[in-house]
Amino acid sequence: MNMQTIVNALNSLTLYRNILHDPVVRAYMDHLAALANPGGPAHPAHTYGKLYHLLAQTANPTTGADAWQNHLLDLILDDVNPFSLAAYSSNIDYTVFMPAVERDLAILRLVFENGAEAVLEATTRELPRHPPLPGHLARLPLPAAPPPAGEQSAAWLEVRVRFKEEMAAAPRWDKLAGPLAAHYAEFGCGLFGRHIAFKWQNGSLCGVSRPDPVTLDELIGYQDVRREIIHNTLQFLHGLPANNILLYGDRGTGKSSTVKALLNEYWPRGLRLLEVPKQQLVEFPHIIKELRHRRHRFILFVDDLSFEENETGYKDLKALLEGGLEARPTNVLIYATSNRRHLIRENFTDREPGATGGEVHGMDSVQEKLSLSDRFGITIIFPTPDQELFLNIVAGLAGRRNLSISSEDLRRRALQWSAWHNGRSPRSARQFIDHLEGELALEKLNP
């Protein structure tokens, strides 16, 4: 097919026009234009080199698609446009866009068919019409991209790859408008389509590429404590009434790991996790604007929550939990962890009615501070484990890692570790097992 025809078709996209601003697509179109204009100023070897350079910086996990085709598929799945947003929204009819979507997808299938091999063949045919390159340098390489690094592989990414492979194998993309809408509805578009975990940073939403992989099965002990959290989360995922939760307990008892493990357990059911630093709780209206009407259900995760007596940020959190003008949408809950049962530091002088410089109605301030914890519907306590629970956690971790050590020796060394280092906690147990595993492996290397 004439290369200028493909460029013209791309320029006529309607809903998927954002794709035209992608640097790789721009390089692709510039190269096709150079091939279509033999007398033009652009040497095909130059524009081809730029296209190759940009594609080499991508990663291609998709069977049945070359580097260019995989990149194009990623752009389609990630594109934020009126159609993808409507499909991902819970209250907008996306079907009004179907004629335009079908046409755009037909164009993009045409571009997909003109993949890396076709571009290379066309470029090779065109080179003799331009200033020559040294003989052996006239053989251009096929654009390539490596597979993703192993640590980037995750279950939700595997679902994405399978859908891309289905698109690659489909002969007509205009018939895929419905399945594509279903994909947007289930997984989202843009940042929401690429990630299941997020952070709120500097006033904007950022995706977390490698969220903590901890699972509920890996967390030994505290099953009764976690059961209520799991039940509340399941109610939330089923669209039933559910409560905000405060997870309170000593450091290292698994509060944060529990919340992260919920994500890895329930992301296939639509759960997403957004970590919000306490300093940015004041931006709650902006956060809600990003999440309202999305099909996913979001837990706002505030880790290590506490306030000093001179901080006023707790008022923003109180409004967020209950009673603010901006209503919390039904697809958002707040799970917070803290080492303090009462989240705001309180001094004895706060309760002394005659304290110098004190308020006339000082107890009102005391009650205001104490009421913050009450705004969470559920408070879950993670106590410090006793010796037997600590040793059970150690034994469970050692068994999962297949460590070759007697139970007596493991018990003795674990108690020694807790006495010398960070006391008894699930975190301390894991740190001990990390140390022990490394030590035993080192002994094998140096018998």
Q: Which of 345, 349, 393 is nearest to 220 (CA)?
A: 393
Q: The CATH number of 207-348+361-382 is which of 3.40.50.300, 3.30.1360.20, 1.10.10.10, 3.30.200.20?
A: 3.40.50.300
CA distances from 100 to 17, 171, 350, 399, 443 (A): 12, 19, 65, 57, 66
Average pLDDT of the residues in 200-216: 91
pLDDT digits (tens, 9 = 90+) for 347-356: 444 545 555 4
pLDDT for residue 394: 92
The pTM of the full predicted model, rounded to 2 decimals, is 0.84
Tell me if residue 144 falls in helix, strand or coil.
Answer: coil
d(CA 288, CA 301): 14
pLDDT digits (tens, 9 = 90+) for 56-105: 999 999 999 999 999 999 999 999 999 999 999 988 999 999 999 999 99
pLDDT digits (tens, 9 = 90+) for 166-197: 999 999 999 999 999 999 999 999 999 999 99
CA within 13 Å, CB half, 291:
27
pLDDT digits (tens, 9 = 90+) for 326-367: 667 899 999 999 886 554 444 444 545 555 455 544 444 444
The structural domains of the chain, with segments of one domain joined by +, span: 3-194, 207-348+361-382, 387-445
Give the distance from CA 154 to its chain's centroid: 11
Dihedral, CA of residue 191, residue 195, residue 201 and residue 205, to nearest 10: 30
pLDDT for residue 265: 94
Cβ partners under 8 Å of residue 311, min gap 6: 344
